[in-house]
Copies of this chain bind each other. A is one copy, B any other.
Amino acid sequence: MELKSILESLLFSAQKPMSAKELRDLLAAAAEQTPGDLTTGAFKKVKEGEIVAALEQLSREHAEANRSYRLVCVAGAWQFVTQPEYAPWLKALVGLKNRPSRLSQPALETLAIIAYRQPLTRVEMEQVRGVSVDGVMQTLTERGLVEHVGRAEVVGRPPTYGTTALFLEYFGLRSLEELPAADELRRIEVKKPVSLLTADPGLATAPPEQLQLKEEGKMQNEETEPGKAATALNN
């Protein structure tokens, strides 16, 4: 009995996406419910890391099998989903449920800024967009895509915002790291008004040379040391 097959059967039968931790707990529970059983006992103490590795292997296998479905990880939880090209038939199956309306252009722009630059204040968002974000922020908060995450350590301690787990789910992302061109966008400077200068500028400030670009809107990224981007990511 292979770990990945057990995990597959569980995800195949689960009513909701499951995290590696939840799967680990199920393996332990199965062993407890069948005392003395060597098969279940063998998976009693599998580590989360092993589970993630097995799931990734499984996910590759399913991608290679090229069937109508895949095993994916969204916001840290694994689930089987169908491939987009089968949507017309699945819509006939599920019925045209009332999905949430699509996001407006201003909402998407603001969401992009928050996603790449979080945590940040409204003033910082408005610096990038050049217009007020009040209405848009209300929409994004109401839809549960962004949330208040803290306060900036500057005069007035304005609230800062970040994206939620629902944001990842809504766009089908495993984590924030999966955002397209993440490193690049995170590093561009957000200009702050003097009164809002943070004690530690951290990520939001980039070296000026990055702004020199060659072609249309592309940045001439000098040899980015891998370590640097990784550090920035964790900020």
Contacts and interface: CB of A to CB of B under 8 A. Distances in A.
Nearest to A28: B92
A194 interface: no
Contacts of A88: 30, 33-34, 37, 39-40
Given A29-B96, A80-B12, A5 B67 contact: yes
Contacts of A83: 9
Contacts of A5: 67-68, 86
Interface string A165-202: 00000000000000000000000000000000000000
Contacts of A9: 68-69, 82-83, 86, 89-90
B12 A93 contact: no
Residues of A contacting B: mostly: helix
> What class of interface size applies to chain A in its complex with B?
35 or more
Interface in A61-96: 65, 67-69, 80, 82-83, 85-86, 88-96
A92 B37 CA distance: 14
A13 interface: yes
A9 to B, nearest CB: 4
19 contacts: A5-B67, A5-B86, A9-B68, A9-B89, A12-B69, A12-B80, A13-B93, A26-B96, A27-B89, A29-B92, A29-B95, A29-B96, A30-B92, A33-B88, A33-B96, A34-B88, A37-B88, A40-B88, A40-B89
